[in-house]
Homo-oligomer: A and B are copies of this chain.
Amino acid sequence: MAKNETRRRLIADAGLTVLATEGSRGLTHRAVDLVAGVPVGTTSNYFRSRDALVEGLVERIGERLAPSEDDLVRRSSEAPSRELFADYIRDIVRRLTDDRDVTLALFELRLESSRRPEVAALLGAWQRAGFDGDVEFNSSAGLPGGRREIALFHYAIDGLMLDRLTTPIDPETSTDDIVDDLVAGLLP
C-alpha cells in the first residue's frame, strides 16, 4: 500500500480521537484502524510500534495547535505590548478550547509519560523544544516576559484548560476574563 501524507494525517487524527475518547490505555493500532475507517493493519503500516504511533501523534498535535500563517502575519505588524501578549495567549487558549480532542489527547500523553519512560523522553523533548521556541519568539518579537514568566503561563494555561475541559470549578467566569487576570498578574 502506498503511503501518503493525507492518509498519514487521517490516521494520526484518528489516534488523537482514540486518546481523547478512550484514554491512553485504549490507544492500540487496532482501535485507530477502526476509528479511521481503514483496513485492519493500516495504522501498523504507517507506525510500526506503539512508540512510533505516539511520536506521530505528538507531531500531529503540534500541527493542529500551530497558529495559522494569517494570524502570525497579522499580529507581526502590531507593536509589541502587554495587550499583544494577551492576544497571543487568548489565541492559544482558543485553539486549545476549540480543538478539545487534541488538548485532551495531550493531557493523556502527559499522564502516560509518568508511567512510561519512552513516552516521557519523547514528549519531554518535544515540550521543552516548544517552551524554548516560545521564549525565543517572545524575545525576538520584543514582547514583555522572559523564560520565568512564560513558564508560569504554561502552568496556568494547562491547569485552566484541564479545568475547563473537565469539571470547571468556577464556570460563571469567562475564560477570556481569566486570561486577562493572569496577564495582569503574571506579566512584569
Task: Please list the residues of chain A having a beta carbon within 8 angstroms of any beta carbon in chain B.
Answer: 20-26, 104, 107-108, 110-115, 120, 123-124, 127-128, 131, 147-148, 151-152, 154-160, 162-163, 165-170, 173, 178, 181-182, 185-186
| List of B residues within 8 angstroms of A163 by Cβ | 154-155, 158
Please tell me how many copies of the chain the complex holds.
Answer: 2
A/B interface sample: 15 pairs, CB < 8 A: A20-B114, A110-B166, A113-B166, A120-B167, A123-B166, A124-B168, A127-B169, A131-B170, A152-B178, A154-B159, A154-B169, A155-B178, A156-B159, A158-B158, A158-B163
Q: Which secondary structure dominates where chain A touches chain B?
A: helix
Q: Could you tell me if A162 and B165 are in contact, using CB atoms closer than 8 angstroms?
A: no
